[in-house]
Structure formats: structure tokens, C-alpha cells
Structure 1
């Protein structure tokens, strides 16, 4: 049996002795614990059905009743108790009576006089069928209610919810998609839908009016009711977010341009003022007749130095503000750092600075722009040489790739260092006389464009710049 509840059984016959006989037979089945309701006519049977309603499991109905016939009553019982199985009792086991019973959707019919085992087998089967149908219907109603709640939740979510069947056809299209796109659910179900979610991430969402929105999708694949894969996708409208981000970036870009322009104007004004003052000195000396070289050349040298400073400032500014595209090619870090050491050694040794080289033979190649990397190392080396003055050691080194696949290029000096909190990578920040403040900003930008990072450690007596650059993919160690 499919339920532990006691079966509800109705027996209808105008013969009271037969009713008692049937009742005794049914009550002998201990595992069912049947306590049947008895009715002598149609009126009593209808009253029992109205009180039992959907809980009635079995009705045993005599074909001949004083106030009705069994076939008519069978139809009425099934209307009042839709899950009840009806078994007709007849003393006429003719073909016509069997056909009539089937036409009234009776479960079976038994003939008088009936044998107890036959009646019990029929009753068991009928009760099992009634309960199976009732439980199936209740399960169906529960599933429908669950699906209805599911649809209501899906439609109430302020996000795009879309499902694709195994063939990529749209199987679910919620109200938010209807509202935003203008496409009704009825016209979208069954249509190809993979282009709506793209490959995941962000994708254009076409609108019925010809426009589009931008949606960010996340999807997952589950097994559907029929055992086939179903892809569920949840999307958010990020159009305004992207517009706001674009406007923010534009605002930041304009602010950066303003900052650069203000910094450039400030840096240009200093050498211009100095050159102007020297030119005024030169004019006064010429007016006084002081035309000998010893009087004029120092002034000319100062003016020339300021002009060269302006030229360097403009060159650095252009390199920072209008960078050229990187031209990536395989670079061997050890050979590159060896070449850089050979390049800067004469200038360093002229100042009394030793150049030390530490190259790790386990360092693999990287994809880099040789000219850009050269500018990075030269900027760091020249800063180091200027910081050390007339003595010290300049270290150029390579280190093997870390767990993330990033190798290291190192430039280290034993100069005085600087405050660790100093914004050394900001444009126009400088701590040295005559500096443009763009050298380290250019270093930071070029390393970032290579997909790397730059870190600085400083204390009195040592400053160390470590450039982390991605090793070539084919040469990265396995994780």
C-alpha cells in the first residue's frame, strides 16, 4: 500500500444481509483495518460520498438499487470522489453488463454470489489504484505549485534569468528580460539563445527596438527533469555602470591631464626664470661695456644649462604623456643586464662607483620591448649613480621566476635612501636638484605595460628596486 492511513470504503446494496456479509469479509483483512461505511440506497451513498470527498478509496456498488441503478450511481460517486475506485456488484455476468461497467470507468465488477478471496483481491487492487492516483495527483499539484512559486520568484527577481536546453534553445525567459528587451516570453521560447549570453562575462543584449544594453552573465549547467543538461544564466544590466565608469575614467583622465599640465608649467617656470635672470645680468654687463669672455661666458653657461634642462624636461614629459606602443620580442634577462652593466660602467667608474653583476642562470626569457626595458634600467641606474655621489657600489641582478611565473630584474645602490612613504612614482615628484620628476613615473608605466610590477625598498645605506616581469608562457615552471 502507498499510504499508512486506514482505507475509506463504501458498500452500497439494498440487501442488508449482503452488506453485513461484505463488511465481515473486509474486516478480516488485519493489515488494511477496513471499517466500511454501509448504504442501502443511492441517497445514503451520496451522503457518505459528500462527507468523504477525496478521501474515499473504494466504492462497492450493486447494479440494482431501489432508487437508482448502479451505473448512474457509479458516475455520481466518481464525480464527488474523483480518486475512488468503483467496483460494481452484479448478479448478471453478461457481456453487456461488463461493457456498461467499463463505459462508466468502473475499476472492476464481481458477480453474486462472490467468493471472499476474489472480493479481497479486487478490493486490495482497487484501493491501491485509488491511492496511487490520489498521491500522483497530489504530487502533480505540489509540483505545479512549486513551479508556479519558482516562476513567481524568477519573475520577481530584478535580474535577467534565462535557461537553455541541451540544443541551446531558450527554455526560460523571465519578466525582467521581457521588460528590458521588449521581447515577449511566448516569442522567445524555443528560439536559439546562445548568442544572448555569449561566452559568459559581459555581452550585448539586443533590444526589440534595435538598440542594445550591456549585460554581465554568470551561468551554470544542471541536469534537467528529463536527464538532459540545462544551462541556467543569471544576468545583470551593467549599462549604466559601464557608462558611469567611462565618465569617471574620462574625468580622471582630464584631472590627470590638468595635474600634468600644472606640474609641467611649474617645472618649466623655474629654468625659464633662471635663464631670464641670467639674460638680464648679461644685458647689464654688456651695457656696462663688460664684453670680455671671462665676464660673459659664466652667464652663457648658466643659460645653456637651463635650456638643456628644459629640453630634458620636455623630452621626459613627451615620453611619459605620449608613449609609443611596445614592440615585444624574446629577451634574455641575463644577456640584457650584462649589456646594461657594460653600458653604464664607464660613467659609474668615472665617479668612483663600482658596478657589480649577479646573474642567476635559472632565469628564463621574457617577452619584452628591449628599448622600453633599456629606458627603465637606465633611469634607475642614473638615479642610483646621482644618489651615491662619488663612491659606492651599483648592483645589477636577475632572480628566477617565483610561483606566479614572474622573474626579477634588480637595481640596487648603497646611497642615502629616501623616505619610504615618498610618492616616488608620481609624476613630477623629485628629491634631487634639477630633476624632472618623471624618470620613476616612466619606469612605473613601462613596467606596468609589460604586465609587471615594480617595488622599492629603501633605508639609509641601501635602496633596492625590484622589477617583476612575467616569464614567457612556454618557459614558466609548472604549478
Structure 2
């Protein structure tokens, strides 16, 4: 079903590019750009559905979480600075490794960190931490942003559910799916106006 939607989208994108080359009027180009943008948004939804329904095969190996989180922090830093968000990383060197697909795990933590920055449009604080707790390893992504309304908390991991004007509703669903595939759990605590903390919990390697 998703492929049957994606193939026409690809065809429309190609023909829109050809049409843009033939149109010279600025007012016409404006409408073409809007259509192009909406096609890309729809394509993102379809791709997200495909990844959610048929995720890539896990390539498990021992993953050093402090190194992975340091890499995520580097990727997030530009977005954090743009939003006047101060970021700190709290990972001790003694955190146990976990068996994980490093690419998938990085994507999950990165999604949460970027979401956190977007939840603080007027600045704030982002904390990314990892620790060993008994036989488990925990990763926290915590912000001082707008928070999540209580009525929405039970729905935030539903595919396509979003409260953002231009959100696809895929990011948190993928986070939840990735953690599930690793035999882990996701906990979330949020207070409107004060912030949100996501905690990813994994078994030790």
C-alpha cells in the first residue's frame, strides 16, 4: 500500500521539476513551490511508515553510550545554539555498554534531543545523560521547554500523532519502535510550562 502511494509521488516530483523549468512567471512558481513542499512532506510520511512497519534489520554490537551521546551532542549543538539552548552531557566513563544497533540508537537519541530544542523556542536547558542502574542502562533526554499536556501524554508515541504545526508525527513513534526492538522501555515525565524528561531503559550487554 505504501509503495503504491510512493511511486506516484516520485513521478509527480519529477514532473514538477520539469514544469518549474518551463514556467517563468514568479506567481506561478510560488504555487509550484507549495505543491513541491507538500509532496516532500507526504513522501516523508510514507517513508516513515515504511521504516516503522518494516524497520531495517538490527546490526547488534556492544555500544559505548558516552561516545554515542557525545556524537549526538555534536550534531545537536548548532540547533541548540540557534534556539539559545544551553546543553550539558552527563555520562560517566563507567557506564556499561549495551548490545545495540549504533545507527538506530543514535537516531533515537538524536530525535529526542532535536525535539527538546524545538520545545524551547525562547531558550532553555537541555540535559543528555546516561548511567548504569543495577542491571540496566538508562539514557535521559531532559528539557526545560513547554512541556506536554497531560491529555496528550498517552498518545505521543502513536504514529502520525503530532501537536506541531508542521510535524509529521513520525519521530517519537520511531524512537519508541527502536527502543522496543532493543528490548528496552521508554518512560516520559512532563509538566506543562516546566519541561519534559524522556528516559530510555536498556538491558546491559
Q: Larger radius of gyration, structure 1 or 2?
A: 1
CA distance in 2: counterparts of 1:420 and 1:330, whole angstroms? 36
| 2:20 match | none
Q: Of the candidates 189, 197, 201, which is equivalent to residue 464 of structure 1? A: 197
CA distance in 1: counterparts of 2:28 and 2:82, whole angstroms? 30
1:297 shift after superposition: 3.7
Q: Of the candidates 33, 42, 46, which is equivalent to residue 301 of structure 1? A: 33
1:436 shift after superposition: 1.7
SS at match of 1:396: strand
1:440 aligns with 2:172: yes
Unaligned runs of 5+ in 1: 1-256, 273-278, 280-285, 473-479
Unaligned runs of 5+ in 2: 10-15, 17-22
| 1:22 match | none
1:372 aligns with 2:104: yes
CA deviations on 1:100-159 (whole Å, 9 max, x unpaired) are xxxxxxxxxxxxxxxxxxxxxxxxxxxxxxxxxxxxxxxxxxxxxxxxxxxxxxxxxxxx
Mapped contact 1:420–1:457 kept (Cα < 8 A) = no
| 2:91 match | 359
CA distance in 2: counterparts of 1:391 and 1:304, whole angstroms? 32
1:350 aligns with 2:69: no
Mapped contact 2:83–2:120 kept (Cα < 8 A) = no
Q: How many residues align?
A: 187
Mapped contact 2:141–2:197 kept (Cα < 8 A) = yes
CA distance in 2: counterparts of 1:313 and 1:367, whole angstroms? 29
Normalised by the length of structure 2, the TM-score is 0.82
CA distance in 1: counterparts of 2:87 and 2:36, whole angstroms? 32
| 2:65 match | 333
CA distance in 2: counterparts of 1:397 and 1:302, whole angstroms? 40
1:466 shift after superposition: 0.2
CA distance in 2: counterparts of 1:322 and 1:340, whole angstroms? 25
Q: Of the candidates 148, 155, 165, which is equivalent to residue 418 of structure 1? A: 148
1:351 shift after superposition: 2.7
**C-alpha RMSD of the superposition:** 2.4
SS at match of 1:361: coil
Normalised by the length of structure 1, the TM-score is 0.37
1:419 shift after superposition: 2.0
CA deviations on 1:328-360 (whole Å, 9 max, x unpaired) are 101011111011101111122123222211113
Structure with higher RCO (Cα < 8 A, 6+ apart) = 2
